[in-house]
Amino acid sequence: MRAAHGADSGGVGAPGQRLKAESFDAMVIQETADPEVVIVDYQARGRITTTGKAYQQSINAVFRVRDGKIVLSRDYLDPLALAEARTELSTPVERGAG
């Protein structure tokens, strides 16, 4: 997972606000009916390097692997978590049903 996503996601965030990944935890790998497709659920934790603010995100990633290489990667995550960590939101957003 770290190799696919990189330990330092320097391109994430606003210019000058780098996101340093610190850990990928609680990883669950799910097989699918398609032998080339795997779904990975995990927690990503890191820090905005310019502010020191913590970042935590639940991520669902879908990979298509062919001949031992990742040929497709799609990540599904909550964009508000990154916005909160970057302090773009003045008030945390309540998440949940409804």
Compute the distance between CA of residue 47 and CA of residue 34 in angstroms, rounded to an integer. Answer: 35
Instruction: Specify if 76 maps to a domain.
Output: yes
What local confidence, expressed as pLDDT, does residue 80 receive?
A: 83
Q: What is the CATH number of the domain that holds 32?
A: 3.10.450.50
Number of domains in the chain: 1
> What is the arithmetic mean of pLDDT over 24-31?
92
Higher per-residue pLDDT: 93 or 50? 50
Taking a C-beta distance cutoff of 8 angstroms, is the pair 24, 2 a contact?
yes
What local confidence, expressed as pLDDT, does residue 93 receive?
A: 57
Instruction: Specify if 97 maps to a domain.
Output: no
> What is the arithmetic mean of pLDDT over 63-77?
95
Query: Which two tokens mark 51?
Result: 């502010």
46-68: pLDDT as tens digits? 888 877 888 888 999 999 999 99
Compute the distance between CA of residue 66 and CA of residue 70 in angstroms, rounded to an integer. Answer: 6
What pTM did the predictor assign? 0.63
Compute the distance between CA of residue 80 and CA of residue 89 in angstroms, rounded to an integer. Answer: 8
